[in-house]
Chain A
Amino acid sequence: MNVTNTDMLLLVLMTIAALWTVMARSLLKATIGLAITSAVITILIFRLNSPLAAVFELSVCTGLITVIFVSTISLTKPLTHKEILEMSKARHKRYIYLPIILVATGIALLFLKIPNDFTLPRLATPATNVRNVMWNIRHLDLFGQIIIMMIGAFGVVTLFITKDDKDGS
Chain B
Amino acid sequence: MSSVLILVPLFGIIGLNMLPRNVARRAAFWFAAAVFTAEILLAIVHQPAFWTEALVRFDSFFRLKFSVDSLSRIMLICIGVVSLSSLVVAKSTVSDEKEAFKFINILITASIGMSGIVMVKDIFSLYVFLEIAALSSFILIAFNKDINGLEGAFKYLILSAVATVLMLTSIAILLLDSPDTAFSTLHNEIAHSRGNFIVTFAIGLFICGLFIKGGLVPFHGWLPDAYMAAPAPVSILLAGVMTKACGIYTLMRIVASVFGFTDPIKNTMMLIGMISILVGAFAALGQTNFKRMLAYSSISQVGYIILGAGTGTFLGLAGAAFHLFNHAIFKGLLFVNSAALEEKVGTSDMSRMGGLSERMPVTGATSVIAMLSASGVPPLAGFWSKLLIVIALWQIGHYAYAAIAILASVLTLAYFLYMQRQVFFGKLPPGLEGLREAGNGLTLTASALAVITVGAGLAFPYIYNHFLLPLKEIFF
Contacts and interface: CB of A to CB of B under 8 A. Distances in A.
Same complex for A and B? Answer yes
Nearest to A71: B157
A148 B189 contact: no
A145 interface: yes
B474 to A, nearest CB: 21
Given A74-B142, A154-B102, A122 B177 contact: yes
A154 B138 CA distance: 12
A22 interface: no
B197 A159 contact: no
Interface stretch (B123-131, B262-270, B380-388, B428-436): B123-131
A53 B138 contact: no
Interface majority SS (helix, strand, loop, mixed), chain B? helix
Q: Taking each of B106, B128, B145, which has the highest tally of chain A beta carbons within 10 Å of its own beta carbon? A: B128
Nearest to A74: B142
A153 to B, nearest CB: 10
B64 A121 contact: no
A57 to B, nearest CB: 10
Nearest to B157: A71
A53 B172 contact: yes
Contact of A154 (B109, B142, B199): B109
B132 interface: yes
Interface string B153-179: 110010001000000100110011111
B144 to A, nearest CB: 10
A4 B396 CA distance: 59
A30 to B, nearest CB: 15
Interface in A153-168: 154-155, 157-159, 162-163, 166
B168 A121 contact: no
A141 B124 contact: yes
B135 A159 contact: no
A141 to B, nearest CB: 5
A78 B76 CA distance: 42
A71 B135 CA distance: 9
Contacts of B132: 144, 147-148, 151
A143 B62 contact: yes
Contacts of B131: 63, 67, 144, 148
B109 A52 contact: no
Nearest to B66: A140
A119 B180 CA distance: 21
Given A60-B168, A119-B197, A148-B131, A67 B177 contact: no
A120 to B, nearest CB: 6
Interface in B87-141: 99, 102, 105-106, 109, 112-113, 116, 120, 122, 124-125, 127-129, 131-132, 134-136, 138-139
A79 B141 CA distance: 25
Contacts of B145: 74, 159, 162-163, 166
A141 B128 contact: yes
A2 B64 CA distance: 39
B198 interface: yes
B32 to A, nearest CB: 14
Given A119-B197, A152-B135, A154-B106, 4 more contacts: A56-B172, A121-B199, A147-B132, A159-B139
